[in-house]
Amino acid sequence: MTRTIGIALLGLGNVGGGVVKLLEANAAAIAARLGARLEVRAIAVRDVAKAQRVVEVDRGLLSADVDGTVARPDVDIVCELIGGTTLARRATLAAIAAGKHVVTANKALLAEHGAEIFSAAERAGVDVYYEAAVCGGVPVIRVLREGLASDRVEALHGIVNGTSNYILTTMAATRRPFADILRDAQALGYAEADPTLDIGGGDAAHKLAILVNLCFGTIVDVAAIPTDGIEIVEPIDLDYADMWGYVIKPLVIARAHGDPATGPIEARVHPALVPASWLLADVGGAKNALYVQSYALGPSLYYGAGAGMLPTAMSVVSDMIEIGRNIFARVAGAPRPTRPRPAQPRPLQSIAEIRTRYYLRFGVHDRPGVLGQLMTILGAHRISIAQVV
């Protein structure tokens, strides 16, 4: 007889619908790999009476009672796909308190409340998996947590927001203004009606906070991460980037300084000049990529679809399968998988402490002496000029 693992979905939007579709389409393959079926037994939604949904489901599975859904005795894994941080935090902690394992795609929840959630899960002896929270369908969490477990990450550079990458890629190809391409991105579904989190860098900062915790074993305050959005980029900046052999990409950057275990962490989010010959320069459209520099392996790159119904659902369902394996291992008497090491406090470098190269563009009156005045001012601030156009 095939064993069954009960699943509760919190939310049935784009990703939730993708999870249902993937569980149905790949049911036989999942059962063969796991040795059990993953069965959706309850779905919490805001409006049970809603007529049109992303995917058709048995109406008997739907409920508006989130607390009742996470407490059901026939549910083993709660999949939080609500979004936001208020209801999602309450529901996640309630699921953990009820002894349920949790899968989430919620980067804001983990970036802002991860310490509380992981501590609660540790006390309750349950798992919290979150592959879909960063880079959608690209398995960067699993790579950092398991594939590089014996290595030491020294630095990372990533393109983790598809909306920003799509806009800058399209600007580079067409030289059209930022505002026009943003409207196109909204029409295509790449950008939200309120795109502030995406284009302002907030979404990427949440993801960077999660990556810093995984790579460097410390928790950073998202609000303290220096963050700039892409709305400052104009077509003329792309012209200058071309002239010097660069492209402009929306990067997250993190690097350890000093002692590998206790030294300060550099973390920042902003559009940056990337050499046209570098791997990240070719990451176009809405794709995501993470470039990792580690002690033993050296450089490695992870690339793919950073969002979308099925790519994100794939990561969610993969987490369910992994938790299912953990459940069966414990039933068989195997020890509980090793938990991540507790986060250690490490200082976050301010942007004023970071020495790097910058591109500066000035709008000035075209008259004698202006360039000299600029050089004098920059020199007074100990800024060396590499090239002037």
Active site residues: 207
Q: b or e along 40-65 (b: 16 or more beta carbons within 10 Å of the residue's beta carbon)? A: bbbbbbeeeeeeebeeebeeebbeee
Q: What whole-number distance in Å separates Cα of residue 1 and Cα of residue 319?
A: 24
Amino acid identity of residue 374, one-letter, is L
**DSSP string across 222-287:** GGGS-B--GGG--HHHHHHHHHHTEEEEEEEEEEE-SSTTTS-EEEEEEEEEEETTSGGGG--TTE
Q: Is the dihedral of CA 79, 82, 84, 87 positive or negative?
A: negative
For residue 164, the cross-strand partners are none
SS3 breakdown of the chain: % helix, strand, coil, rounded to 5? 45, 20, 35
Beta strands in the chain (DSSP E): 3-10, 36-44, 62-63, 77-80, 101-104, 128-129, 153-159, 246-256, 265-275, 287-294, 298-305
